[in-house]
């Protein structure tokens, strides 16, 4: 099975997530520069010789009402030329956008990833690096003043594969108001991948990859565009249970025209989460694709569902005490 076929097969936010989001908002033009108001920074990772590139932006308009931390999806897209239009609707939010290690931040929606990126990409490594980076980030923030009753409420936003890290990062985020999952069903990655394989008629290829990851071949062996280290993490990654048991509100937003994730995966997680103690709100956007483009919302057609979502979060931020699910409406 060719890698491009497999990318289509697996994208439960797995391999094309970041690219799918970025391409829907990318623009042709001159070599990118840091947009006005944004800052390019670096944060430590779990490895002494590796740093993570991050993009930071203050609120576009006063008052600042909340903080949003964005965990991008899979792939090696560099967000520098994309962040300004992509996050334009988050008007009153302080933003922190993480990058995986070994990403060229100028690349935009990169079609191919470097061998260095491929050899080092794994869910467990990304989790450990992101946790270390977030701890360093929050340690540098000024403590709330005596006149400020509470710190800024914070949202953890996961784009596709990025959502698979959210329950593992949440405990390190002060004043966490909720987890926002975009185009990510919430099942364990292996469960979603199996459903997508059935959908595309690629069960034999899926089973072959299963056998490869269970073999005694080296972690560094590349198969279907990623190392067996990546696939072994992917195969054994737990997401459904941590999300169902998490004490934080969860907002999940997805499109029913998503070619990368089967509707069945979204519906299955929702059914399995009916008895979740903490609030969960589920927004299904009719006609929207993996990047939430083409959404039919109300009387509108072909709407940018992502910018619509940002507007919903802005509404929530006016009265965050009401709760994330109580404020965001389909």
Domains identified in the chain and CATH numbers: 3-141+156-327 (3.40.50.1820)
Stated length of the chain: 330
Under 8 Å between Cβ of 211 and 282: no
Q: Which residues contact 300 (CB under 8 A, 6 or more apart)?
A: none
Burial class (CB in 10 A: 0-12, 13-18, 19+), 50: middle
Sequential pLDDT tens for the chain (330 residues): 433 333 434 433 333 344 444 444 444 445 568 999 999 999 999 999 999 999 999 999 999 999 999 999 988 989 999 999 999 999 999 999 999 999 999 888 877 899 999 999 999 999 999 999 999 999 988 655 444 567 899 999 999 999 999 999 999 999 999 999 999 999 999 999 999 999 999 999 999 999 999 999 999 999 999 999 999 999 999 999 999 999 999 999 999 999 999 999 999 999 999 999 999 999 999 999 999 999 998 777 778 999 999 999 999 999 999 999 988 866
Q: Write down the pTM of the prediction.
A: 0.90
Q: Which of 319, 323, 68 is nearest to 180 (CA)?
A: 68
Q: Which of 212, 205, 196 is nearest to 290 (CA)?
A: 196
Q: How far is CA 97 from CA 28, 133, 276, 293, in A?
A: 21, 11, 29, 21
d(CA 79, CA 109): 8
- As beta bridge partners, residue 79 has none
> What is residue 310's predicted lDDT score, i.e. its pLDDT?
97
> What is residue 328's predicted lDDT score, i.e. its pLDDT?
84
Both tokens assigned to 308: 């619509």
d(CA 215, CA 228): 9
d(CA 10, CA 224): 11
> Which of the 8 DSSP states describes residue 321?
G
């Amino acid at each position: 099975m060719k890698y491009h076929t497999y990318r289509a097969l697996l994208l439960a936010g797995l391999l094309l997530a970041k690219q799918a989001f970025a391409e829907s908002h990318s623009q042709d033009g001159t070599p990118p520069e840091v947009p006005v108001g944004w800052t390019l920074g670096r944060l430590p990772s779990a490895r002494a010789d590796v740093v993570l590139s991050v993009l930071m932006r203050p609120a576009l308009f006063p008052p600042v009402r909340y903080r949003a931390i964005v965990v991008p999806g899979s792939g090696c897209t560099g967000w520098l030329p994309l962040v300004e239009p992509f996050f334009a609707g988050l008007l009153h939010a302080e933003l922190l956008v993480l990058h995986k290690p070994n990403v060229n931040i100028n690349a935009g929606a990169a079609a191919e990833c470097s061998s260095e990126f491929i050899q080092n990409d794994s869910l467990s490594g990304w989790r450990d690096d992101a946790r270390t980076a977030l701890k360093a980030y929050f340690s540098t923030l000024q403590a709330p003043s005596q006149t400020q009753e509470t710190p800024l409420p914070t949202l953890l936003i996961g784009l596709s594969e990025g959502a698979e890290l959210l329950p593992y990062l949440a405990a390190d985020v002060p004043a966490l108001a909720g987890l926002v999952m975009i185009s990510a069903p919430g099942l364990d990655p292996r469960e979603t991948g199996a459903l997508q394989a059935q959908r595309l008629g690629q069960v034999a290829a899926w089973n072959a990859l299963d056998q490869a990851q269970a073999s005694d071949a080296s972690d560094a062996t590349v198969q279907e565009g990623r190392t067996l280290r990546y696939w072994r993490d992917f195969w054994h990654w737990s997401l459904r249970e941590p999300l169902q048991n998490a004490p934080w509100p969860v907002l999940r937003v997805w499109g029913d025209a998503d070619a990368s994730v089967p509707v069945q995966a979204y519906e299955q997680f929702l059914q399995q989460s009916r008895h979740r103690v903490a609030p969960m709100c589920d927004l299904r956007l009719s006609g929207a694709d993996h990047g939430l483009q083409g959404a039919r919302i109300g009387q509108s057609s072909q709407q940018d569902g992502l910018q619509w979502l940002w507007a919903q979060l802005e509404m929530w931020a006016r009265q965050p005490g009401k709760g994330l699910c109580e404020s965001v409406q389909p």
